[in-house]
Structure 1
Amino acid sequence: MGGVLGDVLGFAAAVAISPLPIIAVILILATPRGRLNGVLFTVGWILGLAVLGAVMLAIASPSGASAHHQPPTWAGALKLALGLFLVLFGARQWHRRPRDPAQARLPKWMGAIDRLAPAKIFALGLALAALNAKNAPLTIAAGATIGSAGLPVGRQIAVLAIFVVIATLGLLAPLGVFLVGGERARTTLGNWKGWAAQHNVAVMAVLFFVLGLKLVGDGISVLVP
């Protein structure tokens, strides 16, 4: 179990430090219903990660590991494909990054966050976790890694739960600061939002490029033992 957990910690950390969801929850906390909406957004995020990860466990678990405790060939092919996608995605993001961080612009949908109903805030958290092109491949890779390791079902669920908790730390940090600090926390959260907005593209480009290379290496090690 320890080896599998070590394999997925990198994916969880990468999901946790995704700047856009962090910016989104900070903007949500600044709305009149910030406490309720912030919690709903985080719950939606957790549910999205858990459901996508569970689906991958259900797909991967029947195959299990080989007699030599090696992941099945399909898991290697999946990791290789996801790795290549992340490498190309990271390279594209790096090429498109603003030369001057001060010129960085947030997505237009963030301007409507203060007008979203609680149900839509929940759906937004769900979508950013499970349907986002940046986070979904990492969660799929984590689920495939856990499910194809040949662990008992209980340990698979435990590792997935740890993955989800770590992947949510990026949202839990501003949420905790807001709930504890209240109005005094707005300055701190504003500074976090400004930094994340300016460096979002560069951070994610480097992160995905590095993790993509790792997945490519993992996939090759499975396909070419």
Structure 2
Amino acid sequence: MGQALGDVLGLAAGVAVSPLPIVAIILVLATPQGRVNGLLFALGWVVGLSALGGVMLAIGGAGGSSTQGQPATWVGGLKLVLGVLLILFGARQWRHRPKDTSQAELPKWMAAIDRFTPVKVLGLGLALSAANLKNAPLTLAAAASISSSGIPSGQQIATLAVFVIIGSLGLLAPLAVFLFMGDRAKTVLGSWKDWAVRHNVAVMAALVFVLGLKLLGDGIGILIS
């Protein structure tokens, strides 16, 4: 289990560093029902990561590792494909980054967050985790690594749970500030939001590119071993 955890910790950290979802939950917390909506957003995020990872574990099953205890060929192929996709996505993000960070803008749909119903807030958290162009490949790759580790199913589930917890820390930090810092929360979260908006594209591009290279290397290593 220790090796499986080591394989997914970096990927979990990559999921946790998600500037745009962090901005989204800060905006959600600023709504009239901020406490309830923030909890629903976090719940949707956790459910999204857990469901996507769980599906990958179910697909991998016992076929994730070969008879020699090494990752199966399909795991290497999956990581290679995901790595290439992340590299291309990171390169595209870098090319389209704003030259002046003060001119960075939020997606238009974020302006409507204060009118979201609780169900929509839950769905937003779910979408930003399981359908995110960065987080979905990282979660699939992590679950594939867990599946290929050859550890018992109970330990696989526990490892996935650790991945989800670490991958959710970026979202849980603003929620904890809101719940426990009282009047200071507005100032702290406002500064976090401003930083995330200005540097979202650059951070995403660099992070995705580096993690894509890692997955590409992992995939090639599995395929030629």
Shorter chain as denominator, the TM-score bin is over 0.9
Q: Distance in 2 between matches of 1:10 and 1:26?
A: 25
> What displacement does 1:67 show?
2.5
> What displacement does 1:68 show?
2.2
Residue type at the aligned position of 1:214 = K
Is the Cα contact below 8 Å between 1:61 and 1:150 reproduced in 2? Answer: no
> What displacement does 1:148 show?
1.7
Is the Cα contact below 8 Å between 1:24 and 1:110 reproduced in 2? Answer: yes
Q: Distance in 2 between matches of 1:61 and 1:221?
A: 21
Match of 2:219 in 1: 219
Q: Distance in 2 between matches of 1:65 and 1:140?
A: 16
Please state if 1:4 is matched with 2:12: no
Match of 1:54 in 2: 54
Please state if 1:20 is matched with 2:20: yes
Residue type at the aligned position of 1:111 = A
Match of 2:190 in 1: 190
What pairs with 1:51-90 in structure 2 (closer than 5 Å)?
Answer: 51-90=51-90
Q: Distance in 2 between matches of 1:18 and 1:153?
A: 29
Q: Distance in 2 between matches of 1:127 and 1:144?
A: 21
Q: Distance in 2 between matches of 1:216 and 1:136?
A: 16
What pairs with 1:1-225 in structure 2 (closer than 5 Å)?
Answer: 1-225=1-225
Is the Cα contact below 8 Å between 2:49 and 2:139 reproduced in 1? Answer: yes
Identity of aligned residues (%): 65
Cα-to-partner distance string for 1:23-64 (whole Å, 9 max, x where unaligned)? 000001111100000000000000000000000000111303
Q: TM-score, normalised by structure 1?
A: 0.98
Gaps in structure 1 of 5+ consecutive residues: none
> What displacement does 1:125 show?
0.3
> What displacement does 1:160 show?
0.2
Q: TM-score, normalised by structure 2?
A: 0.98
Q: Distance in 2 between matches of 1:217 and 1:68?
A: 21
Number of residue-to-residue matches in the alignment: 225
Q: Distance in 2 between matches of 1:67 and 1:134?
A: 32
Q: Distance in 2 between matches of 1:5 and 1:32?
A: 39
Residue type at the aligned position of 1:56 = M
Q: Distance in 2 between matches of 1:108 and 1:145?
A: 36
Is the Cα contact below 8 Å between 2:64 and 2:75 reproduced in 1? Answer: no
Gaps in structure 2 of 5+ consecutive residues: none
Residue type at the aligned position of 2:58 = A
Q: Distance in 2 between matches of 1:61 and 1:147?
A: 6
